[in-house]
Structure formats: structure tokens, C-alpha cells
């Protein structure tokens, strides 16, 4: 993207120079990313740190080092970090769960930031001018129904997947943060029609979120792709038994520690977000975020006392 912007704004730029620069950046980025992963993984496994919270910080700092080395070597820092994360992602390492949760939260924060920037920098009243909505919608349809299925379908040919799974992956092309970043680069370089490009990006993202994003559960059912609710680590489920301490008790009166949080209650197949006044009934399924050391005590809270059924 940066190379294309330079080609559009600087005189004397050639296509071959752009292609050569792209090939060099990709090659160097790939090499640095693979080397960085090879260096980081033994470090994660063999070098212990004094505190658990330092393990995610170490990987974040190393990501910065990989990015910097690739950039100094005239490579793509983004590709280098991506490749390193991809190679490390499936490997076993201490505190891997904590590292993944930290980086997931950081990525979510970054996504919220870029979407906020998009909302603050776009003027919705101008989208109707010069056919921006029409152009953006047409481009979104081409991306969703032509470009992505062709590219993804070709890449999935070696994979052992059912037809429904292939279609589901091709349809699930939710996009957002990266297009916003690339559209911002066009604005900063002040290329011709940069404002219009940015507005079209907004329309495409809106289509992707509202149409592709919200239709994922429907598409999964139609294509027979099993889905389940992904719960964070530390979540356990308990069923309120008849005669248990929790049966007939309001949530705020339950003897649970401040480290334990009731995430949801499933009653008659319907999930409920309970407040402090919510009264539990026998048969309710309660999902709690808790520490492992609290699990045994909470099991007694939701179970019937010994001898209750016989009585």
C-alpha cells in the first residue's frame, strides 16, 4: 500500500521498482519473522521470569524487536511479526494461556481505537454525494461474492474440508481494522480522491459488519458447521440442585468471593445475564468465572446436601 502511494504521488516512480521493493520487503520480513520465532520459542520455554505478569510483556517486547529488525533490514515489519506469531501460536510454552489473553485484549483495544477513529473522521452526510454509497456497495458485493471466494477457495483446495465448511470460510470475510488503517494512509499522503476512497472504505466495512458479521450464525446452521459458545479459561458451569444452598437464593446473597463472577444463567434453554436480585431455581445452569481453588467450595454450594434425595 505504501509503495502504491509513492507510485501515485512521486514523479519518476516505476512499476518495476515497486515490484522489486515489494519482493524484497516480503522476503526479508518472512526471513526475520522465522528467525525471530526460532529465537523466541526457546527463550519462552527455558528462561523463567520472577512473575507471571511478565510473560506477556516479554512477548510484546520481542514483537517490537522483530518489527524493528525487519524494518532496519528493509523488510516488512508487519509480515515479520505476523509470521513469528503464526509459528509460535501452535507451540507449547509456559503461561501460554495468560499470554494469549493479554494479546487478545490488546488486539481488541486496538480494534476499538481504529473504529473510533473511523467514526470521528467520517462525515456520513457526504456519503450520498457522487455515488459513494453505490460504489462502496458494489465493491463490497464483488469482494464478498467474487474475489474472496475465488482466492480462499483456491487456497483451501489442499485442505480436507466439506463443501459447507469451504463455503463458510469463504463467506466469513469480516474486515475492518486493516482497511481503516490503509484508508488513513491514503488520506495522510493526500493522493487524488483520497477522501472518496476513505468514504468507500467506510461503506465496505459497514456492509461487512452488518451483512457478513450478523449472518455468521445463520450461515453456520445452513452449511451444517457446528458452533459453540467460546468461554474464557476459568469458566465452570454448575447446575442448581434441588435442596442446595443456592436454590431459592438471590445472587447477591450467595457466599461467593469477590474473585468469582456469575457470567450467565441458562434457564429453560434461555441465557440470562443476572443482576444481584436474580433468584436461582433448581435446574438453572450457572456459568461462573472463578479461580481453580474456589471450584470445590462452589460445587458444594450448588449440589444437594448428602442424604437429601434419600430423605
Whole-angstrom distance, CA of residue 155 vs CA of residue 22: 21
pTM score over 0.85: no
pLDDT (0 to 100) of residue 310? 46
**Domains in the chain, start-ordered, CATH in brackets?**
1-112 (no CATH), 122-227 (no CATH), 235-302 (3.30.70.1450)
Whole-angstrom distance, CA of residue 142 vs CA of residue 136: 10
pLDDT (0 to 100) of residue 138? 94
Whether the Cβ atoms of residue 199 and residue 178 lie closer than 8 Å to each other: no
Label the pairing between strands 285-289 and 235-239: antiparallel
- Tens-place pLDDT, residues 26-35: 999 999 999 9
Work out the percent of the chain whose per-residue pLDDT is above 70: 93
- Tens-place pLDDT, residues 109-157: 888 888 788 778 777 777 777 788 898 899 999 988 999 999 999 999 9
Q: Which helix (H) or strand (E) holds 5?
A: helix 2-9
pLDDT band at 40 (very low <50, low <70, confident <90, very high): very high
In this structure, is the dihedral angle defined by the CA atoms of residues 59, 64, 67 and 68, taken in order, positive or negative? negative
Whole-angstrom distance, CA of residue 247 vs CA of residue 172: 42
Environment class of residue 77 by beta-carbon count within 10 Å: exposed (0-12), middle (13-18) or buried (19+)? buried
Average pLDDT over residues 91-120: 83
Q: For the chain, what is the mean pLDDT?
A: 85
Average pLDDT over residues 222-229: 82
Point out the least confidently predicted range of 66-80, 173-187, 216-230: 173-187
Whole-angstrom distance, CA of residue 84 vs CA of residue 38: 8
Point out the least confidently predicted range of 84-93, 204-213, 258-267, 298-307: 298-307
Work out the percent of the chain whose per-residue pLDDT is above 90: 30
Dihedral (Cα; 51, 56, 57, 59), 10-degree rounding: 130
Average pLDDT over residues 29-57: 90
DSSP lists the bridge partners of residue 250 as 279
Amino acid at each position: 500500500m505504501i509503495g502504491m502511494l509513492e507510485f501515485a504521488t512521486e514523479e519518476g516512480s516505476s512499476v518495476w521498482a515497486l515490484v522489486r521493493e515489494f519482493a524484497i520487503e516480503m522476503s526479508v520480513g518472512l526471513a526475520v519473522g522465522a528467525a525471530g520465532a526460532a529465537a523466541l520459542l526457546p527463550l519462552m520455554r527455558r528462561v523463567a521470569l520472577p512473575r507471571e505478569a511478565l510473560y506477556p510483556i516479554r512477548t510484546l517486547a520481542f514483537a517490537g524487536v522483530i518489527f524493528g529488525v525487519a524494518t532496519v533490514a528493509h523488510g516488512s515489519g508487519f509480515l515479520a511479526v505476523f509470521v513469528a506469531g503464526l509459528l509460535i501460536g501452535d507451540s507449547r510454552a509456559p503461561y501460554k494461556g495468560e499470554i494469549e489473553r493479554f494479546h487478545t485484549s490488546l488486539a481488541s483495544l486496538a480494534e476499538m481505537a481504529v473504529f473510533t477513529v473511523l467514526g470521528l473522521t467520517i462525515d456520513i452526510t457526504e456519503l450520498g454525494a457522487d455515488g459513494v454509497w453505490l460504489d462502496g456497495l458494489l465493491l463490497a458485493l464483488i469482494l464478498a461474492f467474487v474475489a474472496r471466494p475465488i482466492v480462499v477457495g483456491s487456497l483451501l483446495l489442499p485442505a480436507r474440508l466439506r463443501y459447507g465448511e469451504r463455503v463458510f470460510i469463504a463467506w466469513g470475510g469480516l474486515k475492518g481494522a486493516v482497511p481503516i488503517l490503509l484508508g488513513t494512509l491514503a488520506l495522510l499522503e493526500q493522493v487524488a480522491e483520497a477522501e472518496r476512497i476513505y468514504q468507500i472504505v467506510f461503506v465496505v466495512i459497514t456492509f461487512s459488519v452488518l451483512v457478513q458479521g450478523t449472518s455468521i450464525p445463520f450461515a453456520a446452521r445452513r452449511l451444517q458447521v457446528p458452533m459453540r459458545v467460546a468461554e474464557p479459561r476459568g469458566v465452570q458451569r454448575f447446575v442448581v440442585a434441588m435442596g442446595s444452598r443456592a436454590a431459592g437464593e438471590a445472587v447477591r446473597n450467595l457466599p461467593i468471593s469477590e474473585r468469582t463472577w456469575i457470567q450467565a444463567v441458562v434457564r429453560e434453554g434461555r441465557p440470562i445475564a443476572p443482576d444481584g436480585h436474580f433468584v436461582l431455581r433448581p435446574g438453572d445452569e450457572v456459568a461462573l468465572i472463578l479461580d481453580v481453588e474456589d471450584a470445590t467450595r462452589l460445587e458444594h454450594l450448588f449440589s444437594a446436601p448428602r442424604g437429601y434425595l434419600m430423605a
